[in-house]
Chain A
Amino acid sequence: DQQVKQNSPSLSVQEGRISILNCDYTNSMFDYFLWYKKYPAEGPTFLISISSIKDKNEDGRFTVFLNKSAKHLSLHIVPSQPGDSAVYFCAASVVTSYDKVIFGPGTSLSVIP
């Protein structure tokens, strides 16, 4: 049973345009959400997070939106740059359950120059 889903395995976007990566979750107990970026031959790198008490968190070109009623979050990258080409993992956890983080399968983003 996949608790964190990323239904788009891949996404291609033109440089300068917006990239929108989507993530859905099934466990309503999740209250902390993270996005990680992974380049080939490297470990995942933390990108941005959001707590369930917020519906938006912004860090430079990266914004995460959370819709708790829909159990959906999205990562917006504006403007997209070729260096953003990577696999993006959505992750979720229940803060009170220590930090057993559940990762989604990832979305491979290609930003075309």
Chain B
Amino acid sequence: DSGVTQTPKHLITATGQRVTLRCSPRSGDLSVYWYQQSLDQGLQFLIQYYNGEERAKGNILERFSAQQFPDLHSELNLSSLELGDSALYFCASSQGPQETQYFGPGTRLLVL
């Protein structure tokens, strides 16, 4: 158990819909990262927050957005969902930038 929690574990929705994935980092960790893992793909870095502020952006689509709240939990919002958005979405946390990242168990999203 890494100490990072993600909800929900599984999510099935339809194209065009909007979903919110939630992540609670390890106690004391200020950095939160979001990754997408599609079928047969490696982990694609989406976005990073540090203490509430966006720190780095990766291959995140404009239809996707994220935020980190004052209690340090983070949400990833995916809108206008397409079939190709079906993937595993991982959240990771670390004490700060450049520290080892600890991953949550992931949310499996299926868009039908």
Contact = CB atoms under 8 A, between A and B. Distances in A.
Contact of B101 (A6, A95, A99, A106): A99
Interface string B83-96: 00000001010100
Contact of B97 (A45, A49, A89, A98): A98
A106 B103 CA distance: 16
A101 B34 CA distance: 11
Contacts of B104: 43
A98 B43 contact: no
B103 A43 contact: yes
B43 A44 contact: yes
Interface string B30-68: 010101000011111100101000011010000000000
Given A41-B105, A45-B103, A49-B100, A100 B48 contact: yes
A46 B103 CA distance: 9
Interface in A10-32: 32
A47 to B, nearest CB: 10
B55 A98 contact: yes
A106 B94 CA distance: 22
Given A43-B103, A43-B106, A100 B45 contact: yes
A103 B42 contact: yes
A106 to B, nearest CB: 6
Interface of A: 4, 6, 32, 34, 36, 41-46, 49, 89, 91, 93, 95, 97-106
Interface of B: 2, 4, 31, 33, 35, 40-45, 48, 50, 55-56, 58, 90, 92, 94, 97-106
